[in-house]
Amino acid sequence: MTIWEILGFALLKILVIVSIMLLTVSYLVYFERRISAWAQNRLGPNRVGWEGILQPFADVLKLLLKEDIVPYQANKTIHTLAPIIALFVAFTTYAVIPFGPTINVFDYSIPLVVADVNIGILYVLALTSLGVYAVTFAGWSSGSKYSLLGGIRSSAQMISYEISMGFSIGGVLLLAESLRPLTIVETQGQWLWNAWIQPIGFITFVVSAFAETNRLPFDLPEAEPELVGGFHTEYSSMKFAGFFLAEYANMIVASGLIVTLYLGGYNIPFINIETLGLPAWLPVLIYISAFLFKMAALLFFFIWVRWSIPRFRYDQLMSLGWKVMFPLSLINIIWVAALIMIFNL
């Protein structure tokens, strides 16, 4: 392939992924509201279109038309920059998550991932570590005490849980012997998913992912009862929507990561599709839908947890992160290393 073909395919994949993500994000908000209504025995948004199916568009229109207020005490540049950083981090992280196997179209062999890099997992860790800045800068630049407290809380929270997240990934890397996401998916095979082999690592990673995305029960940076709205108290209009979009995009990225690292990616357990004698284009579609199905199930789990579990207190959050999750992820690494020694996996 020449450089222009590579660039063209990359641009095409970026366009498809970003537009799908934007659409999914807006519908995720709708589903969150419907599921929360179902969990609390309410109706939820059901007026705009059939069963409220057009609600996301009404929401976006409302947010776009609202007045954008920047507080007098705020630092205007950074105040505007913060939601941009949040969106940048949320959308660029998805680049290394594979959503299907390598396909062959017109003599081209195209991996179904935007950037097939061999340090993919480190890339994810690097970008998530930059995600802290969005919240921290938003809190500091607003010139409000509630925002500042929210920002400081969140930087402490995200740093703490980043550590257990990184160490949980260690177990996966030991088994896959690679940092390339496609290789990690391939080594898990049909049913030997990392979630079965290293359940402790799976749990610590999922919990840390909840904390990294600031979802309940870890949404201390927002914590409405104590901090009004936390880091985004002073944000309105499209800048507020930026944080909102970033939170849901982060959820998508987190579920994509969990599927890739622990739930076998696009693999389907027990059924070998290649031997069923289907037409050549069908297996790829089945693989992609398997990946999307796993992701949808995880997204439902994210929303389900939010409406089932109350928020932690701040000291509980910290002691959970450092005294429970961190040692557990270390134990997981020892467990995986022992498995490799005994069974030569």
The residue ranges that bind other proteins (CB under 8 A) are: 75, 77-78, 118-119, 122-123, 125-126, 129-130, 132-133, 136-137, 140, 148, 151-152, 155-156, 159, 162, 179
Q: Given the complex with other proteins, which of 112 and 179 has the nearer CB atom?
A: 179
Q: How far is Cα 57 from Cα 60, in angstroms, rounded to an integer?
A: 5
Q: Given the complex with other proteins, which of 71 and 283 has the nearer CB atom?
A: 71
CB 184 to other proteins: min, Å: 14
Q: Given the complex with other proteins, which of 136 and 168 has the nearer CB atom?
A: 136
Residue whose C-alpha is closest to residue 240's, from 27, 45, 28, 62: 62
CB 198 to other proteins: min, Å: 20
CB 130 to other proteins: min, Å: 6
CB 53 to other proteins: min, Å: 40
Going from the C-alpha of 212 to that of each of 144, 168, 206, 230, the distances in angstroms are: 23, 14, 10, 16
CB 214 to other proteins: min, Å: 15
First to last CA, the chain: 36
Q: What is the dihedral of CA 242, 305, 224, 151, to 10 degrees?
A: -60
Q: Given the complex with other proteins, which of 43 and 119 has the nearer CB atom?
A: 119
Element holding 26 (H helix, E strand)? helix 3-39
**Cα 191 to the center of its chain, rounded Å:** 23
Element holding 104 (H helix, E strand)? strand 103-105
Specify whether the CB–CB gap between 138 and 232 falls below 8 A: yes
In the chain, what are the helix, strand and coil shares in percent, each to the nearest 5? 70, 0, 30
Q: Given the complex with other proteins, which of 155 and 198 has the nearer CB atom?
A: 155
CB 94 to other proteins: min, Å: 17
HEC string for 286-309: HHHHHHHHHHHHHHHHHHHHHCCC
Q: Given the complex with other proteins, which of 137 and 312 has the nearer CB atom?
A: 137
* Backbone φ and ψ of 108, nearest 5°: -100, 140
Going from the C-alpha of 10 to that of each of 96, 123, 126, 188, the distances in angstroms are: 12, 17, 21, 26
Q: Given the complex with other proteins, which of 45 and 171 has the nearer CB atom?
A: 171
CB 306 to other proteins: min, Å: 26
CB 119 to other proteins: min, Å: 5
Q: Given the complex with other proteins, which of 101 and 242 has the nearer CB atom?
A: 242
Residue whose C-alpha is closest to residue 32's, from 258, 294, 244: 244
